[in-house]
Amino acid sequence: MKVISRSALDVQKVLDALVESAARLCDAYDAAIFQVFGDDLRLVARHGQMPNPIGGVGQFSVPLDRVRIGGRAVIDRRTIHVADMLAEGDEYPEGRKLALQLGYRTALAVPLVHAGEAIGVIFTWRAEVRPFTERQIELVNTFADQAVIAIENTRLFEEVQSRTRELAKTVEDLEIASQHKNQFVANMSHELRTPLAAILGYAELIQEGFYEPQGPKSLDALTRICSNGKHLLGLINTVLDIAKIESGQFTLNMTEYAIEGVVETVRAATESLAQNKRLTLTTSVDKSLPVGLGDEQRLTQVLLNLVGNAIKFTEAGEISIAAGARNGHFAVSVTDAGPGIPVDQQDRIFEQFHQVDSSMTKAKGGTGLGLAIAKQIVEMHGGRIWVVSTPGKGSTFQMELPTRAEFRKPVQPSMG
């Protein structure tokens, strides 16, 4: 029992211990375990005093058939006890031959049954005619059960190991495929931007009357071309950012910047959007803020995204941007009077593709990527971003940024 429990995964040790114990405790000359391999019974453990004309473990096997007692025990899934192989061996002609060859008379074969199927057989035999007692037969049955557990444990362990190897390979293949996809998306987005920039550039030149004066209808069409073109450029940039984040190529370009400048740039860029929806856009920036170190363009992108969302989701009222500094950090927030975000969604909206599942969000469109990118950028600066919101009243998106940020290589997001 000790050997069995200590060598749970070394099946050979367990089987050796079982045949040794079976032979000794049943007062038999020999004991052996055979396992079913296809159409054969293969010797996997043996212990005994008799000379060994059949060869060692791994060298000897017999066909799985009904003309030997082992085969019969396996096929019928029952214990077979033959008091004298020479006298009663007619049913097992091949078994008798073997008995003569090996010199045994009394034989006991107990099948190893797992889930209703015999996976092998444990044998004990004696050189003289002396039947096994009930107790000895019971003992061999117990050993058979132990052998099944040991064989099954090992099989399961090997299966788990092989599945684990397969899974590791699959994960590796998926990672390679995912890298290829990201590279493709990154290249493609880049390729799309070039012609789009030309389209936008020429449209603006025509709009500005660089070639010839334009009538009101053309000007209106040109305005639409430019605004849709810019929207498309924004989408392409978003996709490019995600591809870069996924492939670990997203980096920051650290320079000194003024947070006041970032707020002002965003205000100027979004003012007309707010006006179009009759929303008030206010800013409140503390005096004498320290000079920041970080990626100004990326931080502007974050704030632009927050203010853009605030305008997109708010139908009436005020949107305010606030910036201050404390404890070596900038605190920047965007407050709106929009629909708010349910508490259980407040963390999840920073995940890729996550949008609050409401008809309102769906009506507003969007990719669900903006906040995921914003979070990445803020965290790469060593900062954090979160939302405080009361559904029905509005939301405040807040971020805390080290004033002098150190570029942190991002933890690559897991696939999926």
Interface positions, 152-181, toward ligand ADP (CB under 6 A)? none
Sheet with 280-285, edge to edge strand ranges: 280-285, 318-326, 329-335, 394-402, 384-390
Closest residue by Cα to residue 248 from 187, 190, 182, 305: 182
Q: Which stretch in 115-123, 199-207, 266-274, 333-341 sits in contact with ligand ADP by CB under 6 A?
A: 333-341
Q: Which stretch in 77-85, 100-108, 361-369, 401-409 sits in contact with ligand ADP by CB under 6 A?
A: 361-369
Question: What is the DSSP secondary structure assignment for residue 344, as one 8-state letter?
Answer: G
Interface positions, 284-323, toward ligand ADP (CB under 6 A)? 305, 309-310, 313
Q: Are 222 and 208 in contact (CB under 8 A)?
A: no
Q: Which of 48, 71, 111, 338 binds ligand ADP (CB under 6 A)?
A: 338
The distance of closest approach from Cβ of residue 343 to ligand ADP in the complex, given in angstroms and rounded to an integer, is 13
Q: Which is nearer to ligand ADP, 103 or 342 (CB)?
A: 342
Angle, CA of 240, 336 and 365, to the nearest 5°: 40
What whole-number distance in Å separates Cα of residue 167 and Cα of residue 156?
16
Provide the residue type at 385 as one letter. Answer: I
Q: Are 284 and 320 in contact (CB under 8 A)?
A: yes
The distance of closest approach from Cβ of residue 250 to ligand ADP in the complex, given in angstroms and rounded to an integer, is 16
What whole-number distance in Å separates Cα of residue 156 and Cα of residue 148?
12
Q: Which is nearer to ligand ADP, 5 or 359 (CB)?
A: 359
Query: Which residue has 């707020």 as its token pair?
Result: 263
- Does 182 bind ligand ADP (CB under 6 A)? Our answer is no
- Does 356 bind ligand ADP (CB under 6 A)? Our answer is yes
Three-state SS at 128: coil
How do 318-326 and 280-285 pair as beta strands?
Answer: parallel
The distance of closest approach from Cβ of residue 231 to ligand ADP in the complex, given in angstroms and rounded to an integer, is 12
Q: Which of 361, 398, 407, 413 binds ligand ADP (CB under 6 A)?
A: 361
Q: Which of 279, 339, 377, 400 binds ligand ADP (CB under 6 A)?
A: 339
- Does 370 bind ligand ADP (CB under 6 A)? Our answer is yes
Q: Which residues of 42-60 are buried (b: 16+ CB within 10 A; e: fewer)?
A: bbbbbbbeeeeebeebeeb
Q: Are 186 and 249 in contact (CB under 8 A)?
A: yes
Q: Which stretch in 16-24, 66-74, 280-288, 368-376 sits in contact with ligand ADP by CB under 6 A?
A: 368-376
- Does 369 bind ligand ADP (CB under 6 A)? Our answer is yes
Closest residue to ligand ADP, judged by C-beta, is 366
Q: What residue ranges bind ligand ADP (CB under 6 A)?
A: 305, 309-310, 313, 336, 338-339, 341, 349, 355-356, 361, 366-372, 395
